[in-house]
Each structure stands twice: as structure tokens, then as C-alpha cells.
Structure 1
């Protein structure tokens, strides 16, 4: 085909060249567009029900281990299955002892090989040289990966940075703190707050060997203390002299004598050379090393960007933080006297602005979206003043009582021991504090007189938040002050693997046997890691109902996708963060209790019995159906057999009649031949006539006498009629009757005319014989069928009952389903799953309850609090299952167990709504007085 002709060709093709260079036309396959499906018509309610059916996953759950076959997570899970009361100091002492043992072992090992310690799990130098950035960046859990802004240029050890390094110089103080290029002002503000109370920061760094370059720290995580080991390498802002280009060129142009040493002293020496946090003193090192250990504990430096001061104080002290808001303070006088005035004693305080994240800049020197530490509160000469600290080390309040304001006199400078200067320390009045700062982080500290009992569990969170069926209950053996904390796992420790859901916690405390609740937690706006209440409780049994609200962020990837995206390229990072993830989630691993195990076995037995009954019914139905078909087939065969037998009898009678007719004809022929032999021989003329055509014998002829001979029987022209079939049979095959010889009047001889060929007679006789043989064979076949049918009589008589052994075999080895031929492809493609069906709701949270309580010296070894988690038993026999006709053949123990399980679920069902939830009004019954009593919990709610 030429090019010109191809240009006018059909659009269903394209031009191509063959091996000889000729342009040819290649046809493209014609695709027929699928026929669009008509939308299924639904009522509005059906559409909504269908949407919610697709919205929630059919397989709820959460990945609890990232590392394959993580035996460490399994060991940790076995440790946290039982709630045991321990002193708040015990966990710290254990972690500190482990940390000291680690440091001692590393020191011994390094001195043996004459090498400084290098941390293989958080190696800053290899990370910077190879560009892996594992110590700087977290795992990416969004579609569009964005690299962090951290750009350190070099790494050096402490002894190479500081001329005379000292871990502490006159102890750790708030004035030492200077924030670096990391957004961890909340952590540094927490350190400033800790510095007001002696020995708090010293408790964090428990062991070190500065010559070997190893440091050991402890941090509080999810209710217990952990240890962390680091080396002494730190990031710097400037590159090394040999690896730089621009800096070296500029420096050599300025300094020509020993330029490398001068470059090091200017750019890579002292605290000012550090990329991240630094101390004010040039040779003090505690702050950058503590920040590095905290970053390693959370995976990297990026993981500690952004946070709240209260959370930092919790991690450094093991206390419990409450989020307070200036607008929510009921009694400002009480807040001042009973809380702020006790700062650095029972409480530590931080404050912040711009909690809604909408402001930026400053309010008279106070920076938005920034955390400050409350260092001191004083009440002198009627003036209520508060000392604050900016962790930046600069930037101060510019209002009343600011440095250089008119309120300051020489007397006040002496009273408050204050000096002017932009060092980040400034005083502010109590009224201005409440006006300018929106949120306060109050952290309660626990001394050795406090004990704690904790327990964790995992539960699914529905889209419509309500109090869960799972709840905690505890028994308090002695009245006293109690702090109840409901918390979730701190996902900052496994940043990138936190998933798509953010959880907000609430709980309600009830005393067992009372409808009215004792107290409710107040949900914080910002800090969602935990909620708590502090109050005095009487001894008794208490129930903690849980309420969790989940928010889904679709821009974040699920955990399984993050693992898939990082398993190949960031193995070391995924292993490090995944280990923290596994250890954290091991706390909430649901361990089956003996009661649940018993209920599960009973449920499995009920299920197996149901399966056996269903299988038995199925098999017996099949057998009865087969029996019915066999009986029906047997009856048909019997009817057919009877008809065949009747036909055979008719045929047999006809054959016997024909045979008798032939024998009579043969006898007559024999007599005639005998008479002919006795008489003169004449020409024989034989004429075969049918019985209907035989003429009447002539009475005058000589044959009349022979025909009248009584000894010769004239054959009957009509055989015996037994049935209609026999009559039809005789008409088709009439008997051949020989004609009587005619008399010759002239000669008196008999003429016999032979008009039938002998060969035809022989063939006819053979055909008749073969038909007879076939009839005999058919009779034999029918006889054999009769024998087989008689042998099947026993099978038709009854249906055999299936045995237990047959049922067991069928259950263990079910019959394979019949292989069906492949179905033709559908004309139209199946309807594509919508967004919610592809990615359904699957929110699962790991939640723990901690109960802190004060004990006296005599009660230190007693279990004052016994805590347990109550879960709805998925294997319990419910009322619906009982009413479905299932027989309760068990003894009274099963009924007793059912009653117990029902009592366990009673608190949730009867306390499902809050008093300020207007939906409760619809559940109330009775007149106004009765409804008021129900609201006040004077009478039980109507279920």
C-alpha cells in the first residue's frame, strides 16, 4: 500500500514498514466500550445504610509489630500483662541502675581496645558523610516527601570542640539554656523549669565517662523510665577547614599565618559553634548532650520539633501534666494561692501563647506560638509577680515590670534580686500573666510517698464516639488523695509510624453501685497524650468509663505503606523506629484471661456443634432427596417393567398361536401329500391363500368329504384375542393357511398350483427365527434388569442415619466443591469500589490507665489499689443466640456465668450518656418529678 493510499485509510490503523521498506497498514484491535451499569435505585435510608456498611472496615485491627519475629516485643508484652502497684521511685531506680551498668560496660570495653566510644545506632558522622540523614529526618508518612531544613556542615567530638569541656559549670541552671536550630523550645522551656528545683536535671543524666566519650540518660515514657546511651559527637554549623571551599578561601585571604587553627577557633570552637542547643558558657556541655540523647530516644532531631512544655516536663520528671486555660479558671484567688505559689515544690509550671496556631509575631515582646517557663511566684507588699524565662535566652516582656519600666525602683531590684539585661528573664504581674498567656502546663511531681498501678489495653474506636464497652475498674483499699491518668502511647517515639488517626481521650469515674459519676475529665485542646483528674477518694470499688474520639488525616499514609516505602532504602532507620513502635505496642497486647479462654472454648464447642448439626442436616437432606429420587425411579422402572411384561405375554401368545397354526397347516399338508402319493400322480398346483380369501368348499366335490372329516381340524382364521396389542400383532403377521385342493371334474384328479418360491419361504423362516432369537435376548436382558431391580429393593426401602464418625470425617476432610467451567467475562466491568470501601474506617488505639495514690510508711508493702480491665467477651452467649432455638443443655454454671457477664456490662449500658448530653432527655420516662430524679441519679435510668 502506498503512502498516498494509506493516508485515506481507516482511522483504526497506523502506518508501518515491512522488511523490504514498503509502507504497510497495521490494524489496531477494535475496542468496544463497556456498557455502563444503570445505578441501582435505593431509598434514601437504604443509601445511608449502604454507605455506613462500607464506611467501617470488616476486619478491624492494628499492626502491633513492625520488626518481623521481634522476640523483644514478646518479652515486653509478658511483663506488662499484670497490674502491680510499685513505688514511683522504683521504676526510676531500675532504669538508672541499668543505665549505669551499660556505661560501665562500654567504658571497660573501650579501654580494653584503646578507642573512644562511637555509637553505632546514632552515628552523626557517618550519617553526615554518607548523606543518609537518619539522625536528622523521621520516616516519611506523606505522599510528597519534603526534606528537613537541617543543614549541619560537620561533626566533631566534645574534646575537639571545647578547649576545656565541663559537663556542669556551677550546676545546671536556666541561664545556661540557649535554643539552637531545632524547634524544641518546649523541651528547653521544660529544662529551664526543672532547673528551679535542685537535682531534677541531675537525675536525668545518671552516668558518664567524658574521657571515653560515653553518656547515659534516663527519660520517662508511657508510665515507666527508659535508659539511653550516646557518644560525644555533636553537629557544627561550619564545615571542616579541608572540606570547605568558600569559607577557606575567604579565611586564607584574611589570615595567612596558621589559618587552619585560626579557622577552627573562630568557627568550630566553643558552644557557639554547635548547630543545635548550646549552653551559655563556652565550655559547658550538659545541654547539647542531653538534647542529643532525647533526640536519639525519639529517633532523630526532627522528631522533637514542636511540642508542649508539660509533655517535656513529664518526660524528664515522671510527673503528670494538666492543661489549664486562663479563660477556664474559676477561682483566680485559689489558682494563685494553692497552685502558682507552690511552683517548684509540688508543681512545675509552663505557659504558652497562640495555642490555636493562628497568630505570629509578638505581643509586647511575648512571642506567639512559643513556650515559656514559670520560674518563681512572689507576693510582696501587695504585688503579685511572676518570673518567666524565655528559652531563647533573649526576647522579653515590654509591659509593666519589664526591664527599665517605671515600676522598678532600687528597693524592688534588691527585693527581687533582679538585674536588667536581655537575657530572657523578666517579671510580669499576675493579672498580665492571665491576660497575655492563654494556656498553662501544670505538672504534679511525685515523691517517694506515692505509688502507682498501671494497666494497658487496645480497643477499636468507632466513628461515632461514645463510651466504650471496654472499661477499667479498680479497688481502693484506703481513702486518700488519688491521681487518675488515662493516656495513650506517645507516638513521638516512633514518628512516621503513628498512622492516620489522632485520638482525644476522656473518662468518667463512677463508684460501683452508684448511677451518678464522681468526676469527669476535661478534654484538653492541645495536649492529647493524656487526661487526668486529682481528687480525694473514699475506699471502695470504682469504674472508669472510657470515651475516645478519633480524627482521621487522609494526607498521612497507613503504617503498612510506610513500611513498604522504607524497607528497601532506609532499613536501619525503619529498624530503629520500628523497635520503639513494637516495644510501645507490646504494652497493650490483649492477653486472654482464664474466663475468656473458658468462654472461647465453649463458644468454639457451640460453633462446632452448630456446624455438625448443619452438616448433618445437609447430608440427611441430600440422602432423603436421593432416596426420593431412587424411589421415584424405582416406581417408574416397575411401571415400565409391567408394561413390558404385558407386551411380552401378548407377543408370546401370538407366537404360540402362529406356531399352532403352522403345525396344523403342516399336518394338513402332510395328509394331502399322503393322499396324493396313494393316488395317480398328477400335476401339482399349490395356491397359498390368506384365511380371508379361502373359498367355501364345494359340497358336491370330492373334497367335501375330506373337509368334513372330523379327524382333520380346520385352522382358525382368528387367533385368540388377549389384548389390543395382540390383535394388532396378528393383523401384521397373519397365519398362512393352505388352500384345499380343487377337484377336476373331467379327470377326477386334484390340481395343485405352486405359486410360492421355496427360497422366499426359507428366508421368511430365517427372519422369523432371528426375530425369535432377538426376542429371547431381550427377554434375557429384561430378566437381568429384573434381577438388578430386585437387588435394589433394599436400598429403596429406607434411609440410613449418618454416624458421628462420618460427621467427623466430613468436618475434617470436606468434599471438594465441583469444578465449574470458567465463566465468560462480564459484558460490563464490575462497579469500582468507592473511596470509603477502599479505605474504610479502622481506628484502633492503645490506652492505659495509671492510678497514683499516697501511702504511709506502714502501707508501703500493701496493695492499696487493684486494677483490671473489663472487656466485652466476644465469645459469650448472648440472649439472641439463646432465643434462636439453641438448647441450653449445660448445668447451672453456664447460666451463672451468663449472669456474671451481664452484670459486667451493666455499668456501660446504664451510664452511657453524660448529664449535659441532651440526648439523655429522650431516654427519660415518667412525669417531671420522676425525670428530675432520673437526672439526679436518685433512681436508675430506664434502659
Structure 2
């Protein structure tokens, strides 16, 4: 269900407060669906019952929505069973978690299983995702939990142990050991995280690798791989990184098809080891080998260095033992590094971040994480091909402070990786959501603008080219790339390729040196929240006409034509919201270029609340005149941006118009304005424009009245809050 504007921003504020309290960290993960493992376990043990998870029930809805939905024949005979109903003596883990515990079932999630296989290579990482002390003996109550990194936060996902079966066999992931269930339960928890099992169909190994570690992934196309690829792979595995690879299939219909060499196209593999061995029969010559694993748990490479190939004869027993060589149809095999490069088309390496492991021995990164959102009509500006809106995208200031220790070609530069990830698209598939095509560009900030946190305007991008950018815009969950730039200040612009595409994202910047990135947030302020005295100078012809209309309406009031006693007004004539509506609309109607249907009664009530200094609920002439001067000023701003005389301004231009009116806001507030005041065509008419500025000025003025000490924070009682918001 999509957020309402208020719901979304309230939820965002709550999340930010939780993070300040440490929620979402490794030591204090968020409770997914609000479920607390310890509390639920104690309840089940007290009641002596088995846990049943009503947030991910044992029903078709948890299986899927299309191929595994209600209308699918595939799900008719599926029965959800607990392990104790499937076999005798079920175990959570048998003899330690290993790569052979992961065998793919009838779900196209080889990408996930390849990542799980990599996870088993690092016990410390594994037990971050799969908490220990879970079993089918002591304390068993049908309840298990797993932890994942999810868009900047660690979350704890609780499940029951009912698993889909067909003819008493697991339908999806299973272990080579029939009575071992940790991998099947991990898959279920990951399915719950994304809404269903079917949501896991198809993906990149990197996606799951990052969800297991919070790391960042770099891609290498084999045809463009660096000369030092072997060293990169070896160093990555030694530093705890996870690694996957695949063979692209150009014809979609031939995905996951076997080649004559035993390799499978369109299929994800795990890279589990690399090694360099001496060949004793070839006078000290060396061979570089790569070990891979097929998540199917079978179907292996049959070329050189395969399980039973003649090449193994050239190695001594010691070398074979070092490689743990064995002949078994378990999906794992060795091949030469040269054959690896010839047969596979791309490799993915997930580097660990500082929060992936607790000790300092593993490779560390400095990480800046920024949450953002593209909002249609406001901050979803599209790529550089759309210059009128590109500048409205969220902007992030990057400061490169320390250069690399080992500069290349004596060049002083800073190395860093940028990772742009779109959020929740997999979970929203059942509602028709697909991955957006996303990317980013990096611009150098002129020295005279260093330290200035203002949003870069349209002209800057019209007259400056990007300093660097991602290789291509692509429809992946995450786009990453490594860069080397001189120390200095830059601005990163993340965007979808097309404008008007709405979604959430996180932007992460990784570096081995001290660098910072932060969203450019204008300081929230107003130039003139306090009303200025009315101009006592000569009245213009329009002012005289205005006074005449006001006196005519207010005079009618004072004579009692509205039913109010004339004596109550004295010499001070005042008008109500309905009368204000008549005055303003009689004047606005003369401005044909505004193409306005006139002000609504609700808008006029807001204007009175803004200008009503004496709390009467009406306006006197001085208050009225001050309001009119403001409206004339705002009318001039509106007409400046209403250049095509269409009677409205584009919502993307609204931030400039608001700025010209004297208000400095941040991106969240511009998003709210667009959602609140723009029509379906993402345009804002004159009435909505004036209403927005009236509301802004009223709320700024009210805040200043409460902010007695000027520290930028106020404390309100429920009564004060309701009085303020209801009248505004």
C-alpha cells in the first residue's frame, strides 16, 4: 500500500529517531513486522504451543501471486509441513553449515543460493545471518529467526518452521542431508522479507550478498577485466569478500541451459576459492585454479581440472590435500583460471563494510549512507537528457579529504566507490512494479562555492559538464562504480533515466580514506515571517479601487445587511472569509493571464488566519491591505514562472518560486508541497500557489512566536498543537 504524504513523512521521522536510539544496528536490529523473537519464544514455551506466524501464513499468499498464486496448478498439491512431520530426528544444522547444505528446488532463486554458499565460507558472517543456538531439541517451539541487512538497517526476521512440501519432499531449497533444515528456513525468512517465495524468482547474486553483509558489490565483465583480476579475486577472498559469477545467455528462452562442457548459461555460481599450485611433473611450473559451486548441488564442469580429469595427476598429494580435491557429484568443481575467464562472462565481488564483522582484522571501509526519494513532479527529474528537470533531483555533497597512500603515476587522487540502490522494487512486483533504470553523475563544485550547502540550480548544470558518471544507466537494484578524483568538493546527482518515476533509494559512498557525503539540505528559514506595517505612502489607482471595494463590502456589513448589528463594528470596518473571497475574486477576475477560477472559501479562511492579528476571525482594512500587498508580490513571482500564460506553473519550478518568495526549504518540504498543491498534470494554479505561500508564512510566523529562545526547537502541548494546526 502506498504511503499517504503525511504517513510517509511521519514514518520517516520515526525511523530517523529509532536510528538515533541505535535501532537498526548490528547489536540492536529492527524487529521485522514488529515481532520480537525472545518475547514470542517465551510465550510459546509458557503456553506449550508451536508458533504459527500470522504475518507470513502457511497459505498460497505466502507462496506467490502469479506463477505460484491461487490460479496456478503448481500450488494445488503443496502441503505446508514442519520438519518433524517430514522426517525423523530433524536438525537445524548437521555437522556444521557447508556449501553442500544448499541444493536448489523448484524456485528460480539460484542467485540467492549462490550467495548462501559463499556465506558458509565465513563462519562469523554466517552466524550473523543465521543466529546460533537454534535447534530442534532444547527450547524448540516451531520458532526461528534470521538477520538481514535491509537498505541501511539490520532487521531480525521471525518465522515459523512450516515449509512447502510436495509428496513429503521440500519444494524449494533443501540440504543434501534430508534431516537438515537451516537453508530451507533461511530461504523462507528471506521470502518473508520480500513478501512471498515467488518474489525471489530471478535476480543477481550481489543482491543477496549485500543483504547478508551490508557490503558493496563491484562487477567485472570478463572481456574488460583488468590484468590483475586473479590478484583481485585472491585478495577479495582473503579479506572475507563474497564472490559470484555467471554466463550470460543472449536468448532469454535458453536461460539455465547446459553447455557441452557441463556449465549452465543464465545461471549463478559461487566462487569459493582460488589457488596457485605447483605441478611436480612439469618442473616447477605453476597453475592458477578457481573453485566454483553450482547451487543445484549437481551438474559440473567436465573440462580440464574437473573432478576426474587427467590434470590432477600432475599435482602431488600435498597439493591435492591443500585444495581439498575430491570426486563427487556435489556441484562443486575446479577449473583453470584461463578457462574461467574464457567461459564466464561476468564476476561479482561483494566487499565487506565496517559493520559486516565485529573485529578489525577484515578489510575496513569508511561508509556514508544517505536515504533519498524521487517524487514525481518535484524531485524525479530524470537524467541529464532532461535539462529542465535534471537539477531538481536530490543532490549530495561529496568531500574528498584524504588522497590514496599508493597514488598511480604520481597522481594525487582519492579512490572511492559509489553505490546507488533502489528500494522495495522486488517486494512490490506483485503490484506491477519493475526495476527503474537508474544511474548517477558527479560534478565538481567550484572553489568559491565550497562549504555552500545550497541546492545547485539549473544554470549550473547547463554550463558545466560532469566530472565523472556511472558507466551506464541500468535496470538493476544497485548501480556501483569505482572512481579516482582529486581531493575537493563534488556533488552527486542520483536519478532515474526517465523523469517522473517515483521511488525510494539509498546512496552509499565507500572509501578507504576519510571522505564524507551528505544530502544538500538548504537551511530552513524565511526572509519575512513577521508582518511589516502597511505602506503609508501614496495609494496607486489599484489601491484606491481596492479601498473602495473594501469599504463598499464592509459598509454593507456595518449597515446590518448581513444580520450583524452595526453598532458592534464602530468605525473599524472588518470583513469575513466569505466577504474576502468576494473582494479578491472580483479583482483577480480582471487578470485574464492568471486563468484562475478564483479563490476558494477555504483558501480565504487560511488568509484570514495568517493576517488576523487581533483574533477576531475577520480582517480590518490595515490587515487586508497588508494581505493584498503580499498577494501582489506573489502574483508577480507566479507570472514570472507562468511564462507560457497557461495560468499555472510547473511543479518542478515551484522550488524556485518559493525561494523567490523568501522561503528556504529542504527536499522533504518541497516533496510535501508538490503532493499537497500540484494537480494530476504536476502543475500548480494561482489559487494553490497563493494558498501554499500563505500556509508557509503562517507556520513560520507561528513557530517564531513559540521559539522564545531562538534555538530552532519548540515544545507544544496537544491543545497548542491543535489550536495552531486547526486554525491555520
Q: Structure 1 pair 150/398, CA: closer, same or farther in 2 (3 Å)? A: farther
Query: 1:96: Cα distance to partner?
Result: 7.5
Q: Equivalent of 1:95, from 11, 29, 42?
A: 29
Query: 1:70: Cα distance to partner?
Result: 5.5
Q: Structure 1 pair 510/900, CA: closer, same or farther in 2 (3 Å)? A: farther
CA distance in 1, matches of 2:635, 2:437: 28
Q: Structure 1 pair 305/511, CA: closer, same or farther in 2 (3 Å)? A: same
3-state SS of the aligned residue for 1:434? helix
Q: Structure 1 pair 204/898, CA: closer, same or farther in 2 (3 Å)? A: same
Query: 1:365: Cα distance to partner?
Result: 1.1
What residue in structure 1 maps to residue 150 of structure 2? 221
Matched, 1:411 2:315: yes
Q: Structure 1 pair 101/620, CA: closer, same or farther in 2 (3 Å)? A: closer
What residue in structure 2 maps to residue 372 of structure 1? 269
Matched, 1:235 2:164: yes
CA distance in 1, matches of 2:526, 2:302: 69
Query: 1:807: Cα distance to partner?
Result: 9.8
Q: Structure 1 pair 618/439, CA: closer, same or farther in 2 (3 Å)? A: farther
CA distance in 1, matches of 2:147, 2:544: 65
What residue in structure 1 maps to residue 63 of structure 2? 136
Q: Equivalent of 1:290, from 164, 186, 190?
A: 186
What residue in structure 1 maps to residue 200 of structure 2? 304
Matched, 1:496 2:265: no
CA contact (8 A) 2:78 2:164 kept: yes
CA contact (8 A) 2:107 2:198 kept: yes
What residue in structure 2 maps to residue 523 of structure 1? 472
What residue in structure 2 maps to residue 542 of structure 1? 490
3-state SS of the aligned residue for 2:392? strand
CA contact (8 A) 2:164 2:172 kept: yes
Matches within 5 A, 1:435-454: 435-448=342-355, 449-454=364-369
Q: Equivalent of 2:291, from 354, 364, 387?
A: 387
Matches within 5 A, 1:67-466: 74-80=10-16, 91-95=25-29, 102-124=36-58, 127=59, 133-138=60-65, 147=72, 149-206=74-131, 208=134, 210=136, 211-238=140-167, 268=168, 273-329=169-225, 331=226, 333-343=227-237, 345-358=239-252, 359-360=254-255, 361-363=257-259, 364-381=261-278, 382-409=286-313, 411=315, 413-448=320-355, 449-459=364-374, 460=376, 461=380, 465-466=385-386
Q: Which structure 2 residue ranges, 5 or more long, are not aligned? A: 279-285, 356-363, 405-414, 449-463, 508-518, 533-538, 551-571, 587-633, 645-655, 668-728
CA distance in 1, matches of 2:57, 2:300: 37
CA contact (8 A) 1:485 1:532 kept: yes
CA contact (8 A) 1:490 1:529 kept: no
CA distance in 2, matches of 1:319, 1:233: 31
3-state SS of the aligned residue for 1:289? helix
Query: 1:103: Cα distance to partner?
Result: 1.8
Q: Equivalent of 1:598, from 526, 534, 537?
A: 526
Relative to structure 2, which stretch is displaced further, 479-488 or 95-104?
95-104
Q: Structure 1 pair 160/499, CA: closer, same or farther in 2 (3 Å)? A: closer
Q: Structure 1 pair 513/494, CA: closer, same or farther in 2 (3 Å)? A: same
Matches within 5 A, 1:461-472: 461=380, 465-466=385-386, 467-470=390-393, 471-472=395-396
Matches within 5 A, 1:632-647: none
CA contact (8 A) 1:178 1:391 kept: yes
3-state SS of the aligned residue for 1:409? helix
Task: Give CA-to-partner distance per residue, 1:81-139, whole Å, 9 cap, x none.
Answer: 999899xx972222179999922211211122221111111221xx2xxxxx1011137
CA distance in 2, matches of 1:405, 1:617: 101
CA distance in 2, matches of 1:398, 1:901: 69
Q: Structure 1 pair 343/70, CA: closer, same or farther in 2 (3 Å)? A: same
Matches within 5 A, 1:855-866: none
Task: Give CA-to-partner distance per residue, 1:538-564, whole Å, 9 cap, x none.
Answer: 6643211234214999xxxxx9xxxxx
Relative to structure 2, which stretch is displaced further, 411-420 or 530-539?
530-539
CA distance in 1, matches of 2:660, 2:2: 32
Query: 1:883: Cα distance to partner?
Result: 11
Query: 1:599: Cα distance to partner?
Result: 7.1
CA contact (8 A) 1:138 1:299 kept: no
Query: 1:586: Cα distance to partner?
Result: 12
Query: 1:185: Cα distance to partner?
Result: 0.7
Q: Structure 1 pair 175/816, CA: closer, same or farther in 2 (3 Å)? A: same
CA contact (8 A) 2:63 2:198 kept: yes
CA contact (8 A) 1:96 1:218 kept: no
3-state SS of the aligned residue for 1:292? helix
CA distance in 2, matches of 1:374, 1:172: 17
Query: 1:168: Cα distance to partner?
Result: 1.4
Query: 1:323: Cα distance to partner?
Result: 2.6
3-state SS of the aligned residue for 1:202? helix
Query: 1:474: Cα distance to partner?
Result: 3.5
Q: Equivalent of 2:417, from 449, 471, 483?
A: 483
Task: Give CA-to-partner distance per residue, 1:210-267, whole Å, 9 cap, x none.
Answer: 41111111111222211210011112112xxxxxxxxxxxxxxxxxxxxxxxxxxxxx
Q: Structure 1 pair 104/65, CA: closer, same or farther in 2 (3 Å)? A: same
CA contact (8 A) 2:244 2:271 kept: yes
Matches within 5 A, 1:898-917: none
Query: 1:287: Cα distance to partner?
Result: 0.5
Relative to structure 2, which stretch is displaced further, 465-474 or 874-883?
874-883
Task: Give CA-to-partner distance per residue, 1:263-287, whole Å, 9 cap, x none.
Answer: xxxxx3xxxx212111111221100
CA distance in 2, matches of 1:463, 1:422: 50
Query: 1:166: Cα distance to partner?
Result: 1.7
CA contact (8 A) 2:527 2:662 kept: no
Using structure 2 for the length normalisation, give the TM-score. Answer: 0.60
3-state SS of the aligned residue for 2:124? coil
What residue in structure 1 maps to residue 580 of structure 2? 811
Matches within 5 A, 1:443-842: 443-448=350-355, 449-459=364-374, 460=376, 461=380, 465-466=385-386, 467-470=390-393, 471-475=395-399, 482-497=416-431, 499=433, 502-513=436-447, 518-523=467-472, 528-535=476-483, 540-550=488-498, 595=523, 598=526, 810-812=579-581
Query: 1:597: Cα distance to partner?
Result: 5.7
3-state SS of the aligned residue for 1:75? helix
CA distance in 1, matches of 2:118, 2:541: 69
Query: 1:440: Cα distance to partner?
Result: 1.6
Larger radius of gyration, structure 1 or 2? Answer: 1
Q: Structure 1 pair 179/496, CA: closer, same or farther in 2 (3 Å)? A: same
**Higher relative contact order (CA closer than 8 Å, sequence separation 6+):** 1
